[in-house]
Structure formats: structure tokens, C-alpha cells
Structure 1
Amino acid sequence: MNPRVAIVAIGRNEGDRLKACLASLPDVPIVYVDSGSTDGSVELARKSGAMVVELSPDRPFTAARARREGYEALCEQGCPDFIQFIDGDCALQPGWLDQALSAMEDHLDWGIVTGWRREVYPDASVYNALCHHEWDRPAGDISTCGGDMLVRAAAIKEAGPFDDHVIAAEDDEFCVRIRIAGWTIHRLPLEMTRHDAAMYHFEQWWKRAVRSGHGFAQVGQMHPPYFARERQRVVVYGMVLPALAGLGLLFFWPLTILSLLVYGVNFLRIAQGLRGEGLETARARRLAALITLSKIPNAIGMLEFYRRRLLGRRMHIIEYK
């Protein structure tokens, strides 16, 4: 294995998922960054041979902070040319790192290479199925990617590391800066990681959607017009239509009916689009229902960001598992 690469894995109370993650990693320098776990994750990582960084609880835990401190811990020992970031609920697929490194060495303008993330148990719940669908994106040059990525150290030095204060969509925010610095982000047509969302309850999905809305607002505010379309949809379907429906119940019931019809049309449009992507009808309808409903918790997350910003509050992480 190329000695110029190292791995930063991050986690918080991932349990057996972290065990699977660490077992999947090749024989290269590994830093595991822990965000206040209470399930023995730190001891597990040390036994695996990884260098462990335990984040101090004096500041909010965020995935961005974990990745930044992991990167800085690596560089204290001599910064490698490439860093593979991976979340503790993911397992790296055999052969990925060799192929990704080869691609990076062939394309010196690539700052980030990523691949396909797949769910381990996509049929365990409709929420897992939705994650599985979200990860299914085309290969080629892309604007942003998720937190599993191989990054060129030179690109981090130019663009800066992950920003601690971004509590959701921190990977999007990082990728925006990488592209601003002039680097290309590329998705290879290869399976990179297997992810275990472990979402089996509506409450978990709801919190995840709230977190996404917070990310839309925060990253959109930092890098306008990024997430502009997402924010517009949330305003319409998560704020305006619910408000009109509520006013209709109080003053003019046809307004409520009209609002529900708009939701219905949006649901049918999303379901039709999913069917066009190859999903069978029943699954397309289930996912379309969640996507339609998600705008309401997205709106809650966006409003929470603006509330925190207005009051000068810290941006604390929103956890769903």
C-alpha cells in the first residue's frame, strides 16, 4: 500500500459499526477521532492499532471538527500526500483505495476523489431505503460529495480544512471551498463504502431532516447561492403551504384544500420521477411521501439556524442516532 496515504475515521457511539469500519481499513496510518462516545469506541479503536484523538467537550462536537482535528493529528507526524476520510458507520470496500490513489496520481488537478456509498441494509426500513437512494448519484466531475472522500493534502492546504462551526452539510461546505481554490472533484464509478444508516424509527428520520435543513441555511448563508433551490423548496413546502393550510382552517377552508392539493401534485411529481429512475411503484411512492414531508422538518432546521445566529448561540450538532 502507498505509504503516502493515511486514513481519518470519525465516530460517536457507533458500536459494532465502528468495529466493522476499522476492520475494513487497509494497513496504512489510521487516526480515529471520537466525539464523546460512551460505548467503548475509544478502547476498541486503540486495540485496533489506530491513533486515537478524543475531542475535548469544552466545544460542540461536529463531524467537521472531528475531521479537522484528525487531519491535524496526522500532519503532526508528517502530513501524507492523500487523506481518506471515512465515517465510523461505514466500511471501506476492498480495492477502493488503490484505485482511487491511481486515479489521483493520473489527474493532478483532482483535489477530491469519491465513489459510490451503498447502504448495508437498504430494505430494513423505508428510511434506510431513502438513504440508499440518496447515495445513488452519477459518476464524473461533480460539485460536492459526502464525507467519505480521498482528498489531496495540497488541496486542503489551499482551501483550508473542514470548518468546525458547520454542523450539517459540512462536506458540501468543504467541497465548495475546494472548487473555489481551483480543484476538481470527481466521482469514480466504483463502490467506495458500505454505510449503515440504522434508521428504523420515524423520529430518527425527522431529526435527520431537521439537521439537513440547518445545513441548507448555514452553508447557503456562507456560500450563496449554494443550496438556493433547496431553501426555496423548503420555504414553499415547509413554511408557506403549512401556514396557508392553517389559515384556511381558521378563516377560509378552501385555502386548506388548495394547499393539500399542491402537496398532492408535488408527491405525484416526485413519485413519477423516482419511477423514471427505475424504482418499483410501491417503493417510489413511499420515498416520495418522505421527500414531500421532509420539507417541514427541513424548515424547522432552517429556522433553528437563524434563531441561533440571531441570538449568537453556538451551533450544536443535531443527532439522529
Structure 2
Amino acid sequence: MTLAVVLIGRNEGARLEASLASLEGRRVVYVDSGSTDGSVAVARAAGAEVVTLDPATPFTAARARHEGFEALGETPPDVVQFIDGDCMVVPGWIEAGLAALQDDARLGLVTGWRSEIAPETSVYNALCDHEWHRPAGEITACGGDMMVRSAAYIEAGGFDAQVIAAEDDEFCQRLRKAGWRMIRLPQPMTRHDAAMTRLGQWWRRAVRSGHGFAQVGDLHPGYFARERARVWVYGLALPVLALVGLIWWPLFLLVLAAYLLSYLKTVQGLRGEGMATGTALHHAVFLTLSKFPNLIGMLTYELRKRCGAAMQIIEYK
């Protein structure tokens, strides 16, 4: 089976150099979204084909991936590996993914395990590292590092450039509805550098996630339903009740009890996934608080939709 790599990036600096080095010997199409740090020159020097996106149209990861696929020509290779510019491919992954696709003609997508390069640097990196590690086997969606059969990509319609967050989930839903299977192999796939060291970065990333919950849920009713319900309850309904509780204190105590119960259930869930108790207690604080920036992201999407405004990306780096 023939393969090419679509690598997307924006001002990734040394991360892009490492990503390109991990792909040495492969055909790479690098798609740049308005970098000002010399990324285009770095990619060309590494032998990659370069696509620079027109800044007149809003940048999105989905748009970059799709234009990268289109740059492969009218007869694309059998398989395309999508990867972000802040990731490195783990040796052996390409071969494992190709073997899985070779063995099952109805398998449209394979992914593996992404992990953080430096999870110990900050709690935000550690949260990402935990987020990436999901069970192997049949899946309904995955992140942006994915190996896709070109025939499946074309049949599903590719990435939707208008989706600014959770665009990978949205694409996977169309792939699934088109009848293609998707699996996660129990194998390391990529090493990621979230490079999040500040609370503000984590907050903006959570805002972006909320935007994704709303937009993808709008495009695929029922998807992200549980996530959106939690945000409405813990990000909006309970805070409103807490304000009322300032007048009638028993209600305020009930709201606090609801948040405490949610926090404890989150801790229990993290411990059930093998996380140490102290780490779970720490991480659960951020997972509980994330409903507030998630709400901002959901409301941002609704406002943009009602006003007919462009779906601009929400960057955290």
C-alpha cells in the first residue's frame, strides 16, 4: 500500500523540525497556517512539499488537513497519515497501521496511542497525557493523529474546514455513517508537546473544547450530548442556583454539595483508570472547573451561529 503524510502546523519551531525528522524517508505534504517563524523554509529544507494557506480565509486545522489531502493530487496514495506539527511519529507505527489496514478492507481508519513528551512539566501537560490514553479496539472517534484509507476519506467527504475544534470527532462521525470501521491499536503512535505551562493556556484550550462540543453536537445531534449536558448543569444552572442561594442559604449548601459530589465522582473515575490518589485529587480540580470555560466556548459558538460570524480558531499556544 502506498502512503503519504499530511503534516499541519503554525509557528511550531523546533517541534516542527522534530516532527519532520521522525518522518524522514516518507512523502510529506506540509500545510502551513500563516507561520512567521520560518516553518515553511524548515519544511522545504527537509524535503517536504509545502502548501501555504491563503490568510483571506480563516485558518482551521480541518481546513489545513483537507487542503493537504487535496495537494496529493487526483490519484492520492492508498493511505494518508495525518499528524500535527507538534507531534513526532513513533518508530514502527507506520508499519503497524498499514498492516492493520491491509488486513481489513472495511477498516477506514486506524489510530494508536499519543503521549506527552513532558507530562511532568505542568499539570496541564499531565492532563493532556491522560486524555490521550484511551482503550484499544473499536472506536467511534479519535484525535487528529490518524491513518486513513484514501477511499474512505473521499467517501466521507474529508474534513470540514468550518469546524474549528473537535474537527477529528466530526470527520469520524461521517466516516462511521458511511459504513467504515475505525480502531485504535494498542501501540504507541505519536509523541506530543502540548507546551502548556500557564493557567491561561489551559483555560483557552477548555474554551475551544466547549466550542467543539456545541458545533459538532449541532452537526451530529446526539454526539457530545453528555458533555454538553454536564456543561449546562455545572457551568450555568448550578451557578444560577448558587446566586439564588445567597438569599436562601440551604439552596446554596445543596449547590456546594452537588459540586463536591461531582468532584468526588471524578476522583473515583480517575483512580479507576489507574491514577494515583494524590494525582487524581489534583487533576479532578481542573476537570471540575473546566465546565466554566467549556460554557464560554459553547456560548461563543451559539453567538457566532446566530450572527452569521466566521468560525475563527481559538488558539492556546
Q: TM-score, normalised by structure 1?
A: 0.97
Return the letter of the residue paired with 2:5: I
| Structure 1 equivalent of residue 159 of structure 2 | 162
String of CA shifts for 1:163-192, please: whole Å, max 9, x gaps.
Answer: 000000000000000000000001001100
The range that moved more, 173-182 or 25-34, is 25-34
Q: Which sections of structure 1, spanning at least 5 residues, go unmatched?
A: none
Q: What letter corresponds to residue 155 of structure 1 in structure 2? A: A
Aligned-pair identity in percent equals: 62
1:176 partnered with 2:173: yes
**Normalising to structure 2: TM-score of the pair?**
0.98
The worse-fitting range, judged by mean Cα deviation, of 269-278 and 56-65 is 269-278
Return the offset for 1:157. Answer: 1.4
Deviation at 1:242, TM superposition (A): 1.3
Q: Which residue of 2 aligns with 1:269?
A: 265
Gaps of 5+ in 2: none
Partner of 1:71: 69
Match of 2:295 among 294, 299, 305: 299
Partner of 2:286: 290
Q: CA deviation at 1:88?
A: 0.4
Alignment partners' CA distance in 2, 1:35 and 1:254: 52
Residue type at the aligned position of 1:23: A
- Which whole-Å CA distance do the structure 1 matches of 2:49 and 2:205 have between them? 30
Amino acid at match of 1:51: E
Tell me what 1:36 maps to. 34
| Cα distance in structure 2, aligned partners of 1:74 and 1:181 | 22
Q: CA deviation at 1:26?
A: 3.8
* Greater alpha carbon shift after TM alignment, 130-139 vs 272-281: 272-281
The runs of at least 4 aligned residues of structure 1 exceeding 4 Å deviation read none
Query: In the aligned structure 1, how far is the partner of 2:16 from the partner of 2:263?
Result: 37
Figure out how many residues of one structure are paired with residues of the other and give that number.
317
User: What SS does the aligned partner of 1:216 have?
Assistant: helix
Query: Aligned-pair RMSD on alpha carbons?
Result: 0.9
Distance 2:302 2:310 in 1: 12
Aligned with 1:233 (options 206, 230, 235): 230
For 1:211-222, what aligned pairs fall within 5 Å after superposition? 211-222=208-219
Per-residue deviation, 1:261? 1.6
One-letter amino acid of the structure 2 residue matched with residue 296 of structure 1 = F
Q: Deviations over 1:124-169 (max 9, x none)?
A: 1101111011011010010000000000000011110100000000
Q: Aligned partners of 1:182, 1:107: CA distance in 2, in Å?
A: 13
| 2:45 corresponds to | 47
Question: Which residue identity is paired with 1:184?
Answer: R
2: CA distance between counterparts of 1:59 and 1:253? 51
CA distance in 1, matches of 2:253, 2:45: 60
- Counterpart residue number, 2:195: 198
